[in-house]
Amino acid sequence: MKRLIDKLANENILSPEEFLYLFENQNTENTLYLFKKADGVRKKYYGNKVYIRGLIEFTNYCKNNCYYCGIRCGNKNASRYRLSEEEILMCCKMGYDAGFRTFVLQGGEDPYYTADKICSVVEKIRKLYPDCAITLSAGEFSRKDYEAFFNAGATRYLLRHETASKNHYEKLHPKEMSWDNRMECLKNLKEIGFQTGCGMMIGSPYQTYNDIINDLIFIHDFKPHMVGIGPFIPHHDTPFASMEKGSGNLTLFTVALVRLIHPNVLLPATTALGTIMENGREMGILAGCNVCMPNISPSDAKTKYTLYDNKLITGAESLSGKESLKERLNSIGYEIVTDRGDFKEYPNMF
Ligand code: SAH
């Protein structure tokens, strides 16, 4: 097992059989060895710096009906909201004053927020905060729309691929949604010049180790700038309400593997990880993550943007909690930085 972890650290890839062996032979000793390797690789590229992103959940209206997601259009119990342009700009102002230099606008696929409206918000943020990165995470759009976002001043785009196995994707989504289109979107985003993020849930219904291995191979080949990985957590008003939640340990294990596969990737310690596990985000950092995304949305939005049950909304998941996050990370030897925290290309590293 340790030999395979060393091999992965040296070669950045293993065969599917070797990955499967790693997943099937997890134990405390091997896991700690893996985390130590992943932590070392992260330190080589990013030191002990943890980048923070101010997350603004700008709408929970969504035209899609993903079986796992609490804001799916079929959930008639969801209490819907959308922030106005002014409210989004207010979040940015408060975030900027608190030291955030990246704003992440995440939302459902809200028909009100057309590409033109999104461009208008992005242009305003770009003008007010020329030194900040603007990340969008608003779902699937045409290549033309993505180009317009980029030209308006957006710098990054997060679009989790959700699963690299087409047949698994079809078990998580209704037939109106297409794995091929999602993959096409990711390709377009990267070609346009966005720092592009993909990602997946761990323990989503019907997922096997082979599906996670497909995700790892996809990440190796696609070389995204960012990868968001969190455990699946059921939401009571979805078709997956009674499905088993994902494992925090398996999430950490996968995160550490991703760090070894793609050493300079930006890896957030996700809210879902913090929700499912006590000190989940700190554990994520120790397993190779280097990004935290505190939620800087207004508190009403925070409670309504419920993708899954019991979402962490207090403590370090807030603007006021930035100090506590700082202390918590300091206590494990890491420091938050006021920095855009861009992806570091390999050639600049040496
Ligand atoms: N509409 C945007 C943003 C989606 S929400 C888009 O399509 O990209 C961000 C991510 O939350 C999703 O990509 C999904 O991976 C995750 N998510 C949704 N429901 C979840 C659940 N029940 N448990 C854990 N993660 C979930």
CA of 349 to the centre of ligand 1 (A): 33
Residue-range definition of the domain harbouring residue 279: 45-337
| pLDDT attached to residue 220 | 98
Pocket residue to mutate for ligand 1, from 55, 68, 169, most atoms within 8 A of Cβ: 68
State whether the beta carbon of 109 lies less than 6 angstroms from ligand 1. Answer: yes
> Is 278 part of any domain?
yes
Q: Hey, is 34 helix, strand or coil?
A: helix
> Is 39 part of any domain?
no
Q: Hey, is 68 helix, strand or coil?
A: coil
> Is 136 part of any domain?
yes
> Is 211 part of any domain?
yes
For 90, 92, 139, 250, 317, the CA distances from 102, given in Å and listed in that order, are 14, 9, 19, 29, 16
Look at the chain and report how many structural domains it folds into. Answer: 1
Contacts of 39 (CB under 8 A, 6+ apart): 286, 287, 288
Pocket residue to mutate for ligand 1, from 62, 137, 183, 201, most atoms within 8 A of Cβ: 201
Q: Compute the distance between CA of residue 189 and CA of residue 336 in angstroms, rounded to an integer.
A: 28
**Helical segments of the chain, H only:** 2-11, 16-24, 28-46, 85-98, 115-128, 143-152, 166-172, 179-192, 209-222, 248-261, 271-276, 280-286, 299-304, 322-331
Q: Which atom of ligand 1 is nearest to the CA of 109?
A: 1
| pLDDT attached to residue 302 | 86
Q: Compute the distance between CA of residue 114 and CA of residue 18 in angstroms, rounded to an integer.
A: 45
For 69, 131, 155, 225, 306, the CA distances from 233, given in Å and listed in that order, are 9, 36, 30, 25, 11
| pLDDT attached to residue 314 | 56
Q: Hey, is 334 helix, strand or coil?
A: coil
CA of 117 to the centre of ligand 1 (A): 22
pLDDT averaged per 10 residues, the chain (length 350): 96 98 96 97 95 96 98 97 97 94 98 98 98 98 98 98 98 98 98 98 98 98 98 98 98 98 97 93 96 92 90 62 83 91 67
Sheet arrangement for strand 226-231: 54-59, 102-107, 133-137, 156-158, 195-202, 226-231, 268-269, 291-292, 49-52, 335-337
Rounded to 10 degrees, the C-alpha dihedral 155/46/29/272 comes to -30
State whether the beta carbon of 295 lies less than 6 angstroms from ligand 1. Answer: no
Q: The tokens of 306 are what?
A: 């419920």
> Is 343 part of any domain?
no
> Is 29 part of any domain?
no
> Is 33 part of any domain?
no
Provide the CATH number for the domain around residue 92.
Answer: 3.20.20.70
Contacts of 109 (CB under 8 A, 6+ apart): 62, 63, 64, 138, 139, 140
Q: Compute the distance between CA of residue 51 and CA of residue 290 in angstroms, rounded to an integer.
A: 6
> Is 21 part of any domain?
no
CA of 280 to the centre of ligand 1 (A): 18
Contacts of 53 (CB under 8 A, 6+ apart): 100, 102, 103, 104, 135, 268, 291, 292, 293, 294, 341
Half-sphere exposure of residue 159: CA atoms within 13 angstroms, side-chain side: 23
